[in-house]
Amino acid sequence: MIDPPDGYGVRDDVRLDDVEAVRTLVAGTGYFNDDEVRIAAELVEERLARGAPSGYEFVLLDAADGSLAGYSCWGPIDGTACSYDLFWIAVRDDLRGAGLGRWLLRATEDRIAERGGGRVYAETSGRAQYASTRAFYERCGYLREAELTDFYGPGDAKVFYVKEIADRPDA
């Protein structure tokens, strides 16, 4: 596994205080609506309540002061041999542009590969506000796989990205 950036700590286990930390971080990005913020916090609650059977795994990046700097939430896609979803990846707004998102994505991919994962799927909005998010995935080696027009609402497509991270076991 790759080492965390200097001055940051990394952990995979969520804590009770992460529910509010994730809610605050996601809301503070300015990208997500109230329902999406609620869902992000609910995934932490689900992991706390059910543990590994929840299907939600996390990589959490803590700043030196103990605050949450960024995180990813990911998990296996039921019914597939080696495909994983990247449910969330977010970095605190005041820390964006410092390479933390790229580090979180790489750390997540490493964990998926260790579990035998071969493909990672990420979804995002097609709105202009998300152009930097789509560019981020593309810079990190993700390929734009599909787009569902008007998925989130009129004029707001759902864009799917995929990345091969290991040789498929059936290849």
Query: 9-164 domain in CATH 3.40.50.10470?
Result: no
Q: Per residue in 51-104, pLDDT tens?
A: 999 999 999 999 999 999 999 999 999 999 999 999 999 999 999 999 999 999
119-125 and 156-164: which strand pairing?
antiparallel
Residues 72 and 57: their CA atoms lie apart, in Å, by 8
Q: Per residue in 24-46, pLDDT tens?
A: 999 999 999 999 999 999 999 99
Q: Per residue in 125-168, pLDDT tens?
A: 999 999 999 999 999 999 999 999 999 999 999 999 999 997 53
**What is the residue extent of each domain of the chain?**
9-164
135 φ, ψ to 5°?
Answer: -65, -40
Question: Which pLDDT score is estimated for 168?
Answer: 38
Retrieve residue 150's tokens: 């008007």
Residues 126 and 59: their CA atoms lie apart, in Å, by 26
C-alpha distances in Å from residue 50, one per residue of 14, 28, 46, 59, 75:
12, 27, 6, 17, 14
C-alpha dihedral (97, 94, 11, 8), degrees to nearest 10: 80
Question: Which pLDDT score is estimated for 167?
Answer: 56
Question: Which pLDDT score is estimated for 2?
Answer: 81
Residue with tokens 């560019």: 135
Question: Which pLDDT score is estimated for 163?
Answer: 98
Band of pLDDT at residue 169, cut at 50, 70 and 90: very low
